[in-house]
Chain A
Amino acid sequence: MPKIIIDGREIECRAGIPVLQAALEAGLAVPHYCYHPGLSIVASCRLCLMEMKLPHPQTRELVWAPKLFPSCQTPVQDGMEVRFDSAAVRDNQKHVMEYYLLNHPLDCPVCDKAGECYLQDYTEAHGPGSSRMVEDKQKNPKKDIGPHTLLYQDRCVLCSRCVRFCDEIAGTGELAVVNRGSRGEIDVFPGRPLDNPLQGNVVDLCPVGALLDKDFLFKQRVWLLRSTKSVSPADSGGQTIWIDSNEQGIHRIRPRYNERVNEWWISDEARFGWKYVHRPDRLNRPQVREAGTMRPARWEELPTLLRSRFAEMTPGASLAEGALGPSPDTALKGRGIAAVLSPMMSCEEAWLLARFVRDVAPQATLVLGHVPVVGEDQTFPKGFTIKAEKCPNRRGVETILRHLGGHTADFRTFLGQAVERRFDAAYIVGGYPDVWVTPDVADALAKVEFLVVHDLFPSRLNERAAVQIPGATWAEREGTFMNCDGLLQPFERAIVPPEGVKSDGQFVYELAGRSGLFHARKVRDEMAAEMPQFAEVFVPRELPKHAH
């Protein structure tokens, strides 16, 4: 690993990276706009300039060169010495920050970016504090450039990050710089709006408030938001995200860097696919059918109720026997019972529920629930992939089913068997953002006598369910998802479930006969004792604090 000296401090850094990246990783707050580690280097904003020691033309002795160098364009070399802490560097920063504000409308009070804007931050930290320009400001237009995005051109610093993103990462090239010099503007081509499955990233990329998300526009001041580490349930790739919420409401989702999966980006599906969390028609209380009609139930009565009903349905089984594990004469017991584990569940929830069902009915059939697939995987030029499989944890549930063994089935087979009335009782978990109970699913499940439905929204199963349990969305739960490549990633709870709803993990924890609070971490430790795949979770590297 090369060692370089920055501001007199020796720093060890990864080979081949730009000095700017090394400085940021070493914790230095070097201002920069155009540099982004995921994009090509253009070195045009000239904010990251540094001084560098070079051999003197005559004496060959290392001396500070009489000019500045862009640190984003200069790769680290063992033994090089650079400095940012110098009058010349600060002087340059001051000039650049003054330039950026020459034509800026200074409308921070009405700007969504305020609070996380690098024009504000850098001006505060490095700018001159007042402008010396007394001429008229150039007034640039605000433009509607696509279905999701607005461009406030007057705030743009022309770093060209958004343009490079569309060219290099999305490969769609909708954005371009038009006009020359200070009349330069970002724009789309006539009739070709910014509309690609990754376009939302340009809003995060924009260091200032020029590109704005219509969805988030004027919704919240960013300093009110709390960010929670999460994993997107939008597809099976396991894109890591930040959930930004305030007062139990989600306001936006942003990418969370992940070197193994989504790097700096997320798909628009992941970004905008959270709206269902706040749908008003969410199920919000447990219900039990009695004499043909549903009655509200208390959460506390459900575990006993379910356990005893399942036990009844298991000929000859008793609670005590179940708890002791299968004995030879239990071999046939409980075959009429099934649990459908949704790929929307976390690994921990799926495991707890599967264990509960097998506990009561050792011969129960475990089913991997409906796996929604839309089209085909979509891969972009630099490798970012949107998966066709629109659920986060198929692989995790499969791993658990494979480990538990015994009778398992896929969803289609299960439905076929249900139509043949093979099941007396079934515990069905849904949790999908979209309608998933198609008429054929509903018809097949109508053949199950005792149907427990654990889901987010009312569905065709309303009339058929014997017990209806309201579920929580991923944002209201914690646990891990295993992505399609077997990467196990934890997500945290961002908001509490709506009133009346218990998070799935807590419920299945109690269902499994445990008391106290559900902790995904503890459950996972138990799982790991049996299944080494769950011993370790992958947590992406945190980006250096001053990078953006």
Chain B
Amino acid sequence: MPFERVLMKHVGVPNSTSLAVYQADGGYTGAARALRMKPDELVELVKQANLRGRGGAGFPAGLKWSFLPKDRKITYLCVNADESEPPTFCNRVLIDHDPHMLLEGILIAGYATRTTVAYIYLRGEFMEQFHVLQRALDEAYAAGYFGRNILGSGYDLECYIHRGAGAYICGEETGLIESLEGKRGWPRIKPPFPAVEGLFRQPTVVNNVETLACLPHLLTRGLEWWLGLGTANSKGPKMYCISGPVNRPGCYEAPLGITCRELIYGDDFGGGMRGGKKVKAVFPGGLSMGVLRGDLFPRAPAGTIDPRQDYDELDCVLDFDDVRKYDLLGLGTAAAVVVPEDADMRDVLVNVARFYALESCGQCTHCREGTTWMYKIAQRMRAGAGRLLDLDLLVEISQNMGMMPGMSICGLPDGAAWPVRTAVQKFRREFERRIAEQEPEAARRWTREVNRAAYELPVLQGRETTYVGGTFYQPP
């Protein structure tokens, strides 16, 4: 049986954002069904479905909800619509075409978690989406899907839309909470986790737009349908984005677990590379998850996966588990960006490093200073003044930042470290070649121009260049 789109079923349907169109296609029946269940039954259902968060971390939503303290009086639901991960636009497509699907999901999740107030934290740049969503919300209120005594169930839920001001870090759940409270979007230290002490220091659930949009379908189509989609540990439908020089860039829905090659070359997806070029690299999960080698490289002998070898890695299955075998951080947002064969990896590196240097909130030292340092090194390498030791330095910096080695409050630097480190490690040959092609002494001359002090100190002479600092954290 071919896969039937659910999340994107209304893309292309005229007037799809209106309540009438949504209801005509069975809209809000999932919510009606949910409201007849007990909240705990719903949580149990979502647990059984193993609905893993679509916001990046892939944390099971049902499990997250069950962390809420039993005796709570107030619960908040924060809908993470801050979608700022570089090549990602799934949430935007969803809101653009089907805002009611999100609202229904909010109603279901709200009921399951006994939420009193839900806040939709919308990315600042989503101006148009804000109006679409606000109109839909007004309609839903008028139809009695929000407010007091929803559908006669006795359940009350208020929902507000809050627009961010354009910061990636406000997508991190505690940064989002701080921002929502009207403060600077600085992620909080954990514990306490939001489930215990979140928005306004009350129990709070933070979920991504797509995670919530899955709920109506889970209810109407049932657990069996859901479990029939996806791979062992990654169930359900997923929206994949693809951008870069492919024939059909865009957002596509598929059951979890298509391969990267399918996403690029599949006729239902990217439709192959423009001009028949080869893929040099692909960042398959938003920038933060790291990079895969493309089909410019030879295929690995069947059955081997070894990210240390220069093999084509497009057979990576884009679900929550397989990606790790390729030295990726996770599935992320499942938004791939393709780098064609004729691109210069130094440009790619500058682009990647710049994003995190600009978006680090600046609280934690490693993240604040490390991201900027990496960006500066990448810029110098692109300017044709790289040194071989810069490659090691980049790896060292990236291995000493992030939550995993314990060196930061939030996950942003993990997301900064992974693409930089994997790019340097997986494309090291190219970087080395570019450095060899530079005019000799370029690094010295460059340094003398921009930082005389460093030039005159014996840094460049190789005597004091490196201390044996080593690297604490070795990713698996």
Contacts and interface: CB of A to CB of B under 8 A. Distances in A.
Given A41-B189, A131-B454, A92 B361 contact: no
A46 interface: yes
B297 interface: no
B372 A43 contact: no
Q: How large is the interface on B (under 10, 10 to 19, 20 to 34, 35 or more residues)?
A: 35 or more
B454 A133 contact: yes
Interface string B410-449: 0000000000000000000000000000000001000100
B227 interface: no
A43 B409 contact: yes
Given A43-B189, A91-B469, A69 B451 contact: no
B373 interface: yes
Interface in A64-123: 66-70, 73, 87-88, 91-92, 94-96, 99-100, 102-103
Interface in B39-56: none
A95 B451 contact: no
B189 A129 contact: no
Given A133-B454, A184-B362, A99 B369 contact: yes
Interface stretch (A172-180, A195-203, A483-491): A172-180
B167 A135 contact: no
Contacts of B457: 130
Interface in B363-390: 363-366, 368-373, 376-377, 379-380
A100 B167 contact: no
Contact of A128 (B368, B380, B460, B469): B469
A538 to B, nearest CB: 36
B184 A99 contact: no
A45 interface: yes
B467 interface: yes
A133 to B, nearest CB: 6
Interface stretch (B88-96, B265-273, B399-407): B399-407
Given A67-B473, A96-B365, A182-B372, A73 B189 contact: yes
Contacts of B459: 130-132, 134
A134 B407 contact: no
A46 B472 contact: no
A64 to B, nearest CB: 12
Contact of B368 (A130, A133, A181): A181
A94 B467 CA distance: 10
Contacts of B362: 158, 177, 179-184
B391 interface: no
Interface string A122-142: 000000111111111110000
- Size category, A interface: 35 or more
B389 to A, nearest CB: 8
A42 B472 CA distance: 23
A372 B469 CA distance: 61
A99 B469 CA distance: 13
Contact of A181 (B372, B404, B407): B372
Interface string A17-52: 000000000000000000000000111111101000
B179 interface: no
A160 to B, nearest CB: 8
Contacts of B406: 49, 67-70
Contacts, number: 137
B393 A44 contact: no
B465 interface: yes
A47 to B, nearest CB: 7
Given A91-B469, A158-B368, A180-B358, A68 B405 contact: yes
Contacts of B130: none
B360 interface: yes
Contact of B376 (A41, A43, A135, A160): A135
A95 B400 contact: yes
Contacts of B443: 134
A131 B455 CA distance: 11
Nearest to B397: A95
B472 A180 contact: no
B450 interface: yes
A182 B401 CA distance: 15
A496 B205 CA distance: 65
A134 B444 CA distance: 9
A134 B460 contact: yes
B321 interface: no
Contacts of B380: 134-135
B469 A94 contact: yes
Residue among A91, A129, A135, A184 with the highest chain B CB neighbour number at 10 A: A135
A49 B409 CA distance: 12
Contacts of A177: 184, 362
A99 B465 CA distance: 15
A137 B472 CA distance: 27
Given A46-B408, A49-B407, A181 B371 contact: yes
Contact of A95 (B167, B169, B360, B469): B469
A128 B468 CA distance: 9
Contact of B365 (A67, A88, A100, A180): A100
B464 interface: yes
Contact of B373 (A42, A91, A133): A133
Given A67-B473, A181-B359, A181-B371, A46 B365 contact: yes
B365 A130 contact: no
A139 to B, nearest CB: 12
A176 B189 contact: no
B2 interface: no
Contacts of A133: 373, 376, 451, 454
A137 B451 contact: yes
A135 B451 contact: yes
B466 interface: yes
B470 interface: yes
A539 B380 CA distance: 58
Contacts of A179: 362
B357 interface: yes
A427 to B, nearest CB: 60
Contact of B404 (A67, A87, A94, A129): A67
A46 B466 contact: no
Contact of A44 (B373, B409, B464, B469): B409
Contacts of A158: 362-363, 365, 368
B404 A180 contact: no
B239 to A, nearest CB: 29
Nearest to B372: A182
Contacts of B470: 87, 91
A97 to B, nearest CB: 9
Contact of B407 (A42, A46, A157): A46
B406 to A, nearest CB: 4
A91 B466 CA distance: 13
Interface in A135-160: 135-138, 157-158, 160
Nearest to B449: A136
Given A68-B407, A96-B366, A182-B372, A132 B450 contact: no
B372 to A, nearest CB: 4
Contacts of A45: 364-365
Interface string A377-419: 0000000000000000000000000000000000000000000
A181 B361 contact: yes
A272 B247 CA distance: 72
A193 B387 CA distance: 46
B364 A136 contact: no
Closest CB pairs A-B (n = 10) = A99-B369, A184-B362, A68-B406, A182-B372, A67-B406, A135-B376, A181-B360, A44-B363, A136-B450, A134-B447
Given A46-B407, A182-B360, 13 more contacts: A49-B406, A68-B406, A96-B365, A99-B369, A102-B373, A129-B467, A130-B459, A132-B466, A134-B380, A135-B380, A135-B451, A158-B363, A181-B358
25 contacts: A43-B409, A46-B408, A49-B407, A67-B404, A67-B406, A87-B470, A91-B469, A91-B472, A92-B400, A94-B467, A95-B469, A99-B368, A100-B365, A128-B469, A129-B464, A132-B459, A134-B459, A135-B373, A135-B377, A135-B380, A136-B376, A136-B450, A158-B365, A180-B167, A182-B362
